[in-house]
Amino acid sequence: DVKVTQSSRYLVKRTGEKVFLECVQDMDHENMFWYRQDPGLGLRLIYFSYDVKMKEKGDIPEGYSVSREKKERFSLILESASTNQTSMYLCASSFKAGRYGYTFGSGTRLTVV
């Protein structure tokens, strides 16, 4: 079964820590995305990538960076975690060509204390 795997379901980190959220997909998808989900705000795009070593800012990139060294892996980095980054983080992937839906991971619930 094809899937998008996020390395952690729950994380608790301290303010100021550098945090890595990892996402791996096994579908050979070109596109990968990072979203955060907060009550009443829906899915907000942080960063996305169309190809290896390529990245583009989404709607709320401040305080985040990303890395895509291999096609199957897309990492979200919180350089210095803050309490307002407490959220559910969702990774997704899709084919590049044509119009196809995204496949989402199960999410990582991050709490910054």
* Interface positions with other proteins (CB under 8 A): 4, 31, 40-43, 48, 50, 90, 92, 94-107
Question: Cβ closer to other proteins: 5 or 80?
Answer: 5
Question: Cβ closer to other proteins: 49 or 85?
Answer: 49
Q: Are strands 10-13 and 108-112 parallel, antiparallel or unpaired?
A: parallel
Rg (CA), the chain: 13
**Smallest gap from residue 98 Cβ to other proteins (A):** 7
**Smallest gap from residue 96 Cβ to other proteins (A):** 6
Strand-pair partners of 76:
21, 66
Question: Cβ closer to other proteins: 70 or 96?
Answer: 96
Two tokens, residue 36: 């955060």
Question: Cβ closer to other proteins: 84 or 101?
Answer: 101
**Smallest gap from residue 103 Cβ to other proteins (A):** 7
Q: Using alpha carbons, select from 11, 12, 10 the residue that is nearest to residue 113.
A: 12
Consecutive H or E run containing 69: strand 64-70
**Smallest gap from residue 58 Cβ to other proteins (A):** 10
Q: What span, in angstroms and rounded, lies between the C-alpha atoms of 8 and 58?
A: 23
